Amino acid sequence: MTSEIDRYNWHLKGRCYKLGHDVPHAGGVIPASMITAREFDPQKLIPHLFEETDPGFHTRVNAGDIIVTGRNFGMGPKMNGYIAMQALGLGLVCESMPFLAYRAAVGCGVPVLTDCINVTELCDSGDELEIDFRSGMFFNHTRDIQKEYPPLPEALQEIIALGGNTGWLKRWWQQQQAGQQ
Amino acid sequence: MGMTAVEKVLARTAGKAVVRAGDVVYPDPDFIMIHDGLVRGVRRELDALGIDRLASPDKVMMVTDHEVIYGSARAAEFGVINRNAAKAWGIKNFYDVGRGGHGHIFPMESGLLLPGMFYFDNDRHATNAGAIGAFGFRVGAEISRVLATGTNWVMAPKTVQLKLRGSLKPGVHARDIGFRIARLLHEGALDFELDYRVLEFAGDLDGLDLAARAALCNSPTEMRAYGVFFPPSVAILERAKKHAQRPFTPVFADADADYESSATLDIGALEPQVAPPGGIHKSIDIGEAAGRKIDHAFIGACGSGMYEDFVLAAQFLHGRRLAPGVRMFIAPGSEQSTRRLLADGLMQIFMEAGVIPLPAGCGPCNDAVVGPLHTGEVSISTASNSNAGRFGAKDAQLFLGSPATVAASAVAGVITDPRTLTQH
């Protein structure tokens, strides 16, 4: 397992996409219709990520870009928006998240930091950011700011390295099968 | 530094001497619960991965409570899928239609869920376990990992403590305390962060029986508590011993446990509460809502589905009829309660009043699969919450109250203070 964690790219470097406080999952992150339709296909979800607040978001974003949010991001323990974020290769850095929203992001394999107090004061949309999710180091190269935040707990790193819960279960089952032979 | 109740339960089940809030642990649960609404998705996920066996099928309780009466072809299809899954996975403890009841009620009533236990559940109202001094943790769709591997990661939650002082006035119910707590939290008068916390009750709890404790687990859950905990009283322990289907060891917080915050709430002057449409955090004294005409009433669901809740409601319906134009449903929390209500004559009171009994389970509280409302209609119920659309039409007006308030209102045809009606 160590090798899978080590092989994973914990170091994202990209542009900042900044959001405010209290962005709900339904409507704020992804339209409620995607949630009620139980749509979990990343390719179908990607065009709808932040659609209601920033149409065309998915066409301007690149792998490695970082979503930085204020307090209480992602209300409602839904997974749909995180599935799209993971498929796009985005990172997520929040001042705070309801715990079950954090759990959902981890479960979808999104590299995520929470409890990053006042992080929205250290960056603006478009800034060049660099985040090490394993150490919690935050760099804003545009403004020459460096800050250390609580890292991803070690116990959760393998879930993200394997792409989320399903990837984790797949690897676990392969190991079970291999162990029986 | 001692441990809180949840830290102790997690330490026991994770095989550790000490667990502190924030630790990530992998508890070995006393059992695992999955309800009928989620089996299809979990089966698909595990099948796609080739996972064809569960870690401990004997620990799994599969419960049909969300859609008990198949009101659609889709529901009947789900029923088949669920029964096939139970068979394929070798689940013996399958409480299917008509065989158990509400998954957050009947296990407490029948001695399957006991003080000190810990279990995983896909559903957030597993917090009801706190009524009997146990913990049920919601992991949503991640129940698939629990089923396949036997556990999942848990970050030990922090605990906040609320001491209750005084005793309720006649006609005031534990649900009313919960509504009031929601309002106080919203206003900041109770300065607690409840997100992913365990709310532990303390103080004058001896007057609260198991049903009252279950009722009080409900509102904190809606305010995002991950667990609610009542230290079991002598009466609760005796009741548990009487029904226990296995040995158990109750758990209590250490005297020097680390609470994130602590507060006291005087309940002696509390009035019956009504949660108006928009949420329990807007709850008001019943005087402010009384007189509002209603079309629909319902008693049941996680917070008000215990046998005692129906005994109380029957006292307001005895010898009376529902007001013209009002339809009312009850959904006892267990088949056992339904049989008791029949045996002791209380079901007769409901039927003579014109109430429609539903089979044990969630009733309309699950997406109104039965007993929905039309546009503009008004309901008062004991549902878990009053989110727009929970009972069908998005613009239906959903009020919440205690079982006493709901029964009194159904008789009067308008929202009614139960203290204005004679109890029989």
Give tens-digit pLDDT for B311-333. 999 999 999 999 999 999 999 99
A44: contact with B, CB 8 A cutoff: no
Question: What SS3 state is found at B357?
Answer: strand
Q: Does A1 score more than 60 pLDDT? A: no
Shortest Cα distance, chain B CAs vs residue A14, angstroms: 30
Task: State the ipTM, two decimals.
Answer: 0.92
Stretch B131-155: mean pLDDT: 97
A130: contact with B, CB 8 A cutoff: no
Position A38 confidence tier, pLDDT thresholds 50, 70, 90 = confident
- For the whole model, what pTM was predicted? 0.95
Contact A169 B155 (CB under 8 A): no
Shortest Cα distance, chain B CAs vs residue A142, angstroms: 34
Q: Does B24 score more than 60 pLDDT? A: yes
Beta bridge partners of B118: B135
Contact A153 B24 (CB under 8 A): yes
pLDDT of residue B423: 87
Q: Which amino acid is at B182?
A: A
Write phi, then psi, for B273 (nearest 5 degrees). Answer: -110, 155
Q: Does A118 score more than 90 pLDDT? A: yes
Position A156 confidence tier, pLDDT thresholds 50, 70, 90 = very high
Contact A153 B195 (CB under 8 A): no
Spatial distance between the Cα atoms of A107 and B144, rounded to a whole number of angstroms: 12
Contact A98 B155 (CB under 8 A): no
pLDDT of residue B300: 97
Spatial distance between the Cα atoms of B234 and B84, rounded to a whole number of angstroms: 42
Of residues A16 and B424, the one with the higher pLDDT is A16
Contact between B177 and B139 under an 8 Å Cβ cutoff? The reply is no
Stretch B235-264: mean pLDDT: 97
**Which residues in B lie closer than 8 A to residue A170 (C-beta atoms)?**
49
Contact between A122 and A114 under an 8 Å Cβ cutoff? The reply is no
Q: Does B235 score more than 60 pLDDT? A: yes
- pLDDT tens digits for B44-71? 999 999 999 999 999 999 999 999 999 8
What is the chain B residue with the closest CA to A171?
B49
DSSP A12: E
Beta strands in chain A (DSSP E): 11-18, 66-69, 91-94, 112-113, 128-132, 137-140, 145-148
| CB-count exposure of residue A87 (10 Å: 0-12, 13-18, 19+) | buried
Write phi, then psi, for B348 (nearest 5 degrees). Answer: -60, -40
Q: Does B344 score more than 90 pLDDT? A: yes
A99: contact with B, CB 8 A cutoff: yes
Angle (CA) A64 A69 A72, round 5° = 135
Q: Does B7 score more than 90 pLDDT? A: yes
Shortest Cα distance, chain A CAs vs residue B365, angstroms: 17
Q: Does A181 score more than 70 pLDDT? A: no
Shortest Cα distance, chain B CAs vs residue A167, angstroms: 9
The lowest-confidence range among A4-8, B96-100, B309-313 is: A4-8
Stretch B360-373: mean pLDDT: 91
**Which residues in B lie closer than 8 A to residue A153 (C-beta atoms)?**
24, 155
Angle (CA) B197 B200 B204, round 5° = 155
What is the chain A residue with the closest CA to B193?
A98
The chain-wide mean pLDDT, for chain A, equals: 94
Spatial distance between the Cα atoms of B315 and B423, rounded to a whole number of angstroms: 5
Contact A99 B141 (CB under 8 A): no
The chain-wide mean pLDDT, for chain B, equals: 97
pLDDT of residue A2: 66
pLDDT of residue A46: 97
Angle (CA) B121 B122 B127, round 5° = 55
